[in-house]
């Protein structure tokens, strides 16, 4: 689709008019038949790569490389079982490699399109979002420790744990970037090109992403609360995606969230292999839920508000600028009327 035709379809609503950012996905082989083929190829590639990870696990158990099995947690990196590092990478790679392969082989565009609509992965935005999330998350952990010190444990860790923490940072990056590349980089791009309506596309992808986490232990403990906050966080993440037209800020939030869950777990089911501070929730430990906990909701909303201020306030050192949709014909920002409508 040319930049000229994109300008003629500037939207007036998120659900009923074509979105100028999504229209940028109309490059090379983007129409319905190619979209369907791309989704099928992505699914097949994902399945084959995932089989490779399962085969590795079976081989490791059969040859006695690991005893007692590999961990099945959300972040299965256990220093007592070094092969868990290899397994973690193998389990994460299907999310990353499958969409990159489909973009090049099926849609005929560079694999870099999984990370932005035009300029490649913006590392500066990644680090701004990650550090803003670290500040908010760190304040939350500190507040929790000060108000409920009896519910926290500080494991004794030696210097040998430092390399494992560094390795965890890298592996969690691969895991979170893979999920974001598949859901926000590929599905949003391909589905948004053929149905360039922001709200329906985003709602569908968020539903798929949340559904992929339903087997997590925290969901089984407090289903409604987790669905609500997963959805809220994803709405914020997608807001940043469309604001910057780049995956980096969303990836930074996702990465730091999972890093904090690794080093300071607060929910049932989050692994404690590399935890530096462990919180045991008394409500969950007693079999209860947090749906009607006004204090918890208030604290979460305050944290969310602080995060948005850090990322969207112009004077913040973590401020994320709004990008302009690019003219696909020239690579230049589109005319003012379209920029205002985005």
Question: How many domains does the structure of the chain reveal?
Answer: 1
- Per-residue pLDDT band at 36 (split at 50, 70, 90): very high
Is 331 domain-assigned? Answer: no
Confidence of residue 72 (pLDDT cuts 50, 70, 90): low
- Report how far residue 98's alpha carbon sits from residue 236's, in angstroms, rounded to the nearest whole number: 25
Domain span holding position 26: 15-324
Across the chain, mean pLDDT equals 89
Q: With 70 as the cut, is the pLDDT of residue 330 above it?
A: no
CB neighbour list of residue 310: distance below 8 Å, 6 or more residues apart: 132, 135, 136, 316, 318
157-167, pLDDT tens digit by residue?
Answer: 988 889 999 99
How many other C-beta atoms are found inside a 10 Å radius of the C-beta of residue 239? Answer: 17
**Element housing 153 (H / E):** strand 152-153
175-198: average pLDDT: 97
Q: For residue 182, what is the DSSP state? A: I
Lowest mean pLDDT among 5-19, 122-136, 153-167, 307-321: 5-19
Query: Could you tell me which residues come within 8 angstroms of residue 76 by beta carbon, excluding any fewer than 6 positions away?
Result: 70, 84, 87, 88, 91, 271
Structure confidence by residue, pLDDT tens digits, 86-141: 989 999 999 999 999 999 999 999 999 999 998 889 999 999 999 999 999 999 99
Could you tell me the end-to-end alpha-carbon distance of the chain, in angstroms, rounded to an integer? 18
User: How is 299-314 classified by DSSP, letter by letter?
Assistant: HHHHHHHHHHHHHH-T
Residue found under tokens 């994109």:
6
Is residue 210, in this structure, part of any structural domain at all? yes
Say if residue 325's pLDDT is above 80: no
CA distances from 155 to 35, 73, 143, 200, 274 (A): 49, 19, 19, 45, 9
* Any domain includes 20: yes
**Axis crossing angle, helix 294-312 with helix 123-147, rounded to the nearest 10:** 150
Q: Which of 240, 242, 261 is nearest to 251 (CA)?
A: 240
Question: How far is residue 67's CA from residue 267's CA, in Å, rounded to a whole number?
Answer: 27
């Amino acid at each position: 689709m040319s930049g000229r035709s994109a300008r003629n379809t500037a939207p007036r609503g998120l659900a009923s008019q074509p979105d100028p950012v999504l229209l940028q996905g109309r490059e090379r082989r983007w129409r319905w038949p190619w979209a369907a083929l791309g989704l099928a190829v992505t699914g097949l590639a994902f399945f084959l790569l995932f089989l490779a990870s399962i085969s590795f696990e079976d081989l490791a158990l059969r040859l006695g490389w690991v005893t007692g099995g590999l961990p099945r947690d959300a972040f299965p990196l256990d220093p007592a079982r070094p092969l868990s590092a290899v397994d973690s990478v193998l389990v994460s790679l299907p999310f990353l490699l499958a969409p990159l392969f489909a973009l090049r082989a099926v849609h005929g565009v560079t694999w870099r399109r999984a990370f932005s609509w035009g300029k490649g992965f913006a590392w500066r935005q990644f680090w701004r979002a990650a550090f803003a999330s670290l500040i908010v998350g760190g304040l939350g952990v500190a507040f929790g420790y000060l108000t409920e010190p009896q519910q926290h444990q500080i494991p004794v860790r030696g210097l040998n744990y430092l390399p494992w923490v560094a390795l965890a940072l890298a592996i969690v990056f691969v895991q979170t970037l893979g999920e974001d590349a598949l859901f926000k980089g590929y599905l949003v791009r391909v589905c948004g090109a053929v149905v360039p309506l922001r709200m329906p596309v985003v709602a569908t992808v968020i539903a798929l992403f949340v559904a992929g986490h339903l087997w997590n232990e925290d969901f089984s403990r407090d289903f409604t609360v987790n669905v609500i906050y997963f959805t809220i966080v994803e709405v914020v993440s997608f807001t940043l995606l469309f604001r910057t037209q780049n995956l980096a800020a969303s990836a930074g939030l996702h990465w730091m969230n999972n890093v904090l869950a690794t080093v300071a777990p607060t929910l049932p089911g989050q692994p404690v292999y590399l935890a530096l501070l462990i919180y045991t929730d008394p409500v969950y430990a007693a079999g209860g839920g947090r749906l009607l906990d006004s204090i918890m909701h208030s604290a979460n909303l305050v944290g969310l508000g602080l995060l948005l201020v850090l990322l969207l306030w112009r004077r913040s050192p973590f401020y994320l600028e709004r990008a302009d949709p690019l003219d696909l014909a020239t690579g230049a920002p589109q005319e003012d009327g379209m920029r205002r409508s985005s």
